[in-house]
Structures are given as C-alpha cells and as structure tokens.
Amino acid sequence: MNKDFKKLEKNLGYSFQKKETLVKALTHVSKSKENNEVFEFLGDSVLNLIISQILVEKFSMDDEGTLSLMRSKLVSRTTLNKIAKKLELDSFIIKGDSLAGQETPENILGNALEAIFGAVYKESGLEFIRKIIETTFTREIELLREGNLKNSKTLLQEYCQKNKFSLPTYNQIEKKENIYPFIVTCKLDESSSCEGFGKSLKLAEQDAAARLLKKIGVKDE
C-alpha cells in the first residue's frame, strides 16, 4: 500500500480492512467509472444521522429548530471542506487527467470526505464511523456555541442578493406515505431546487434551504 494511504489512515484513526475500498472512496468520477459517488451518497446519509445523534446528546436542552440549524452548519460544504483540508485529503484523491496539475476544487474535497465516511460505515458499521465523525468534528461542535448561527433561509437570501439573483421561492407540496408532515420545495431556477422535510412548515423550509445551499456549494461563512 502506498505510504500516503497509511498517513491518511493515521489521520482518520482507522485502518481499512480492504485497501481497495479506500482506493474507491478516493477515486473521483473524472478518473474511472469505478468511483466514489455511491460511497459519497451513503456517507452523506450516515453523516446526517450521526451528527443528529451527537447534537441531541450534547445540546438536549435546545429546541428542534436550533438543533436543525446546528446540523446544517456542521454538514455544510464549508465545514466538510475545512475538515477535508485538515486531513490533507487533497494529497490522496485520485483524479483524472482533466484535473491533473491543478488544485483540487473544494467541492471534490468535501465529497471525498463523505465518501470515506460511507466506506468506513459499509466496512465496519455505525459504531466505528461514529467514533471517526465524533473525533473529526470535535472542534466544529465546540465552535457552535461561540459563533452566531445564521439560519439557512437567511444565508440563501444573502447569497441571492449578493449575486443579484432572484430570491428563492418556497412551495409546500404533498406526498403520500411520507414520515414528515411537511414537505417544501426551495427553488432558485429550473435547474436548482431541493426538497426539505420537517415537523413544521418553518423547519421544512429551513431544511430545503440548507439542502440547496449544499447542492450549489455556497459557503456559510
């Protein structure tokens, strides 16, 4: 195994049982059809679940709205990119020729981090990946109380105003057999929209805005 992978595993605090799993988690779509997109999809879901668990345990006195804002902050593209840089993921990502010789775009870093989370979960289960996420997000969780938490709708509106875009629209929709009582679509244009879910209309709108911010790669600084 490449010594660089050993360094990454040391940074993560986890040694992969199958090194080909790690290689796949680090392989960008520009390199191969056998890439990390499925692991990224899985990692995104696992990350949201574990961060939710941690926040409920650490901030049990906060209401659901505040917890939702905290989670949005922690799973945002900005936070993921920041952690990926700390882990020096740029040195390990396997990219195609189209990206050779240039600095890795930040969105690829965050996506690769989620892919690694997904790969660890698939290989070793929830207990192992929770330990890794708790460790890598320790400082970010501590910072939650030190800074101001802007809600996702405000962040999205500020982004639109700064770039002279039309303001986002929110529309409640109905779907059968959905576990959440409220579903909202947040839309910027025909190609940029996301659905959000919540126990109230406001929470569903916040969730939709947070998902759209992540989709379009807006930093929440």
Of 92, 114, 131, 134, nearest to 14 by C-alpha is 131
Q: Catalytic one among 20, 37, 40, 44?
A: 44
Q: CA–CA separation, 105 vs 112, rounded Å?
A: 11
207 is catalytic: no
Pairing of strands 169-173, 192-198: unpaired
Q: Catalytic one among 114, 205, 207, 220?
A: 114
44 is catalytic: yes
Let me know: does 123 contact 21? Beta carbons within 8 Å: yes
Of 51, 59, 93, nearest to 75 by C-alpha is 51
Backbone angles phi, psi at 121, to 5 degrees: -60, -45
Of 200, 208, 197, 207, nearest to 169 by C-alpha is 208
What is the token pair recorded at 177?
């057999």
Of 73, 60, 21, 15, nearest to 42 by C-alpha is 21
Of 141, 132, 142, 137, nearest to 10 by C-alpha is 132
Catalytic residues: 44, 114
